[in-house]
Amino acid sequence: MIAKLLSERPFSSIGFLLAYPTLALAAALGDPWLFGCAAAVTYAADWRLSEAGTWLFSAVRTARVGLTLRFVVRQLLLVVLLARMDAPVLLAATTFVLFYVLQAPQSLLLTLIKRARRLPVVTRNIDLGPLRIPDTPSPLLTLRGFEKVMHADVPAVAGLLVWVATGSTAAGTVGCAATVTLVIAYDVALLPVFLEARTTPDDKRVLAFADRWLRENRPTVVLYFSGMKSSAYQINMWLRTLEALDARAVVLLRERHILTDLAPTTLPVMCVSNANHVMSLDFGSARVVFYASNVGPNIHMLRIPTARHVFIGHGDSDKQASVNPYAKVYDEVWTAGRAGRDRWAGADVGVRDEDIVEVGRPQLAPVRRAVEEPRTPLTVLYAPTWESWEPEPGVTSLIDSGELIIRALLSAPVEVRILYKPHPYTGVRDPRAKQAHERIVALLQAANAARPASPADPLLTAERMRVEAQWRSAQTPGRAGADEAERARDSLLTAEDAGVLEGLTERRDALFWADHAPEQHIVIDADGPHLYSCFNECDLLVSDISSVVSDFVASGKPYAIVDGAELGEEEFRRRYTAALGAFVLTPDAAGLHDALLVAAGKEPDTMRETRDDVKHYLLGPDEPDAMTRFNRAVQRLAHAAESITALAIPVVPQQPPVEKPSKATSNATQTSGSR
């Protein structure tokens, strides 16, 4: 806990914790100068810590010591100080009562402004011009508005302290008057902002517009996604594939945090949080709906009878989660290759073989095949999976074996550069995974500090920073400071813009690798190069049973998998398809030495042909290419859905009966209708 406290703005954190007891002491002693100094520290530390969103402030909120309570405590202690020194308690009390009473309009206006600017459907690449959405309100008034108005008590606090310390009644009176005036001025300034925010289209208009857009554009393919924070990678991997489809596609998201992390795309995107809104929109033109994860909200799209529903997942692996019985709700399950079909057959969870379609992995086009000569130093990518929702033994190597693997690589018989890329969910369920991650980062930092590295090229670093800034700017739609509604209005990514962004991404990744010394170990976080860029940079992968390995086989390079459950090499290979072409490591990293020698070209690569066979089994044939196969599968299924829709018996509106039908007539009518 102390380490967390000191890791985030330590001076502000310590000042924050010490200043409030000092306030109480100063009030009890009747010392206005000590009180004033401590109050100044509380104001400054409070603002800086809340601005950074530190661990300390999270703990303070959990303890229900919110912003209002902290201000009330400081003001009450000031009143105690005034009473202790026979100062104007009534003036102070009256001022602080008015201070809070006059804040009511401000709080109401800020809430109404925020509510008015919250659209029921947030979009990307859909022209919202007809809705005439106004610009984002001035952040000077709305950003952290509650915190700003709370700090309007500074003149009163300062003025009253000067009064007590010097006897200047004017200072106290002016300070109190200034505080009240500032709160009133804030209320008045927010009124025109509120009136402009009211011109933002209401829910009814936005929903009607979205419905009209769907009817006019008639998308035939929907990529549907719902997920927790940090899960956007699961849908990001499919965006380029759907952009290349010979069909009109739309992305439908259910959580706004997914939209925030969504990769740039030229596809039209709708984010609809409310289930009733989803079910009220007209997706009747949809013929194929793709699902990248098994989650409860999928039911809101599965209800559409005219579409065919397909589970495509977010990776192809031998994990237990890859054969979830939930998949029975879909019309088809698409896998990369024959391995996926066999996996479902072996799981025996009710998914029929005729409902499984092998379409390859179109996403793997950027993965380059292995070069003949390994590089020096040998680059090893350690990419462990996360701990999973279920506490299965050996799911991730990170907890028990991660540190051992890194130490083995650092003391390898060949020169090694380590790339460490943890899973985005690392530590979500098991804190031991996060602790292991932190130990590995510390090991790599210490190793970098202990070994000489080539001097950095300042020109190269400057170019990298310039491209990085351009890339980040291109990633975020709209202008800086724009709110959700304005970004939806202005986020129209053209094909030309997408081409520029793709070029920036390639240049950014190339500069990232070039700007790091060849002998420098690298920790790659979520903002670093894409996983496939890491594949192209490394000579050997060390991982767990996950889709990372299944994707890596496309490179043809050697890889090692940790048998964390200690099944034994024979059983491990029998149970997990990807392990057939892998070096199988024990939890203590035994076997890694052999993998390194083969990857470095110092020992013959006897498993190359096996890896090629595994690649074909996991990912399917090279010809026709995966994108062609995926496109054909979409066209086939869309045609089947269209045929079923065309054959559907139209519903004829019934005329009101002239007289009540007999029971026999009623039964006959119901039977006829059921046919």
Beta strands 522-523 and 308-311, pairing class: unpaired
Which of 516, 536, 566 lies at the terminal end of a domain, its last residue? 516
Q: Residues 448-479: pLDDT tens digits?
A: 999 877 788 889 999 999 999 888 888 776 77
Angle at which helices 154-166 and 89-101 cross, to 10° = 180
Domain co-membership, 434 together with 546:
yes
Domain co-membership, 265 together with 181:
no
pLDDT band for 106, please (50, 70, 90 cuts): very high
pLDDT at 66 over 70: yes
Domain co-membership, 479 together with 445:
no
pLDDT confidence of residue 646: 66
Domain co-membership, 154 together with 264:
no
Token look-up 């999928």 returns 298
Q: Residues 224-235: pLDDT tens digits?
A: 999 988 899 999
The C-alpha angle 390, 391, 395, rounded to 5 degrees, equals: 95
Residue 205 lies in a domain: no
Neighbour tally for 620: CB within 10 Å:
22
Classify residue 329 by its DSSP letter. Answer: G
pLDDT confidence of residue 55: 66
Neighbour tally for 594: CB within 10 Å:
14
Spatial separation of the C-alpha atoms in residues 47 and 131, rounded to whole Å: 37
pLDDT confidence of residue 44: 86
Q: Containing domain of residue 483, as a range?
A: 455-516
pLDDT confidence of residue 604: 93
359 or 425, which is more confident: 359
Residue among 318, 319, 354 nearest 333 (CA): 354
Q: What percent of the chain shows pLDDT beyond 70?
A: 92
pLDDT at 9 over 50: yes
Residue 325 lies in a domain: yes
Domain co-membership, 508 together with 565:
no
Question: Span 306-329, mean pLDDT?
Answer: 86
Domain co-membership, 394 together with 324:
no
pLDDT confidence of residue 553: 96
Range from 12-26, 96-110, 253-267, 399-413 carrying the lowest mean pLDDT: 12-26
- The arrangement of strands across the sheet holding 583-585 comes to 522-523, 416-420, 378-383, 540-543, 559-562, 583-585
Domain co-membership, 111 together with 172:
yes
pLDDT band for 667, please (50, 70, 90 cuts): very low
Residue 659 lies in a domain: no
pLDDT band for 7, please (50, 70, 90 cuts): low
Joined together, the tokens standing for residue 675 give 């046919």
Domain co-membership, 449 together with 462:
no
pLDDT band for 329, please (50, 70, 90 cuts): very high
Question: Span 607-621, mean pLDDT?
Answer: 94
Amino acid at 527: D
What DSSP line would sit under 451-509, residue for residue? Answer: S--PPP-HHHHHHHHHHHHHHHHHHS-SSTT--HHHHHHH----HHHHHHHHHHHHHHH
Instruction: Return phi, psi of residue 272, to 5°.
Output: -125, 110
Contact 39, 74 (CB under 8 A): yes
pLDDT band for 414, please (50, 70, 90 cuts): very high
Residue 661 lies in a domain: no
Residue among 233, 230, 232 nearest 532 (CA): 233
Question: Span 295-313, mean pLDDT?
Answer: 94
Q: Which residues pair with 420 in a beta bridge?
A: 382, 523
Q: What is the mean pLDDT of the chain?
A: 89
Residue 158 lies in a domain: yes
Q: Residues 428-446: pLDDT tens digits?
A: 889 999 999 999 999 999 9
Question: Span 46-73, mean pLDDT?
Answer: 75
State the chain's maximal CA–CA distance in angstroms. Answer: 100
Q: Residues 160-195: pLDDT tens digits?
A: 999 999 888 899 999 999 999 999 999 999 999 999
Spatial separation of the C-alpha atoms in residues 597 and 577, rounded to whole Å: 24
Question: Span 36-54, mean pLDDT?
Answer: 80
Cα separations in angstroms, 661 against 655, 658, 670 = 13, 9, 12
Residue 667 lies in a domain: no
Domain co-membership, 322 together with 339:
yes
Which of 624, 646, 664 lies at the terminal end of a domain, its last residue? 624
Amino acid at 600: A
Spatial separation of the C-alpha atoms in residues 672 and 661, rounded to whole Å: 15
Cα separations in angstroms, 183 against 174, 176, 529, 546, 607 = 14, 11, 48, 57, 74
Contact 298, 224 (CB under 8 A): yes
pLDDT at 58 over 90: no
CATH classification at residue 590: 3.40.50.2000
Spatial separation of the C-alpha atoms in residues 21 and 374, rounded to whole Å: 63
pLDDT at 377 over 80: yes
Cα separations in angstroms, 319 against 18, 545, 584 = 50, 6, 16
pLDDT at 490 over 80: yes
Which of 312, 336, 364 lies at the terminal end of a domain, its last residue? 364
Domain co-membership, 580 together with 499:
no
637 or 9, which is more confident: 637
Spatial separation of the C-alpha atoms in residues 541 and 419, rounded to whole Å: 9
pLDDT confidence of residue 137: 93
**What is the count of structural domains for the chain?**
4
pLDDT confidence of residue 481: 81
Residue 225 lies in a domain: yes
Residue 45 lies in a domain: yes
Cβ neighbours for 309, distance < 8 A, ≥ 6 positions apart: 289, 291, 301, 302, 329, 330, 331, 332
Spatial separation of the C-alpha atoms in residues 170 and 208, rounded to whole Å: 60
Domain co-membership, 246 together with 168:
no
Domain co-membership, 252 together with 149:
no
250 or 168, which is more confident: 250
Q: Residues 491-517: pLDDT tens digits?
A: 999 888 888 999 999 999 999 999 998
pLDDT confidence of residue 658: 42
pLDDT confidence of residue 318: 73
pLDDT band for 57, please (50, 70, 90 cuts): low
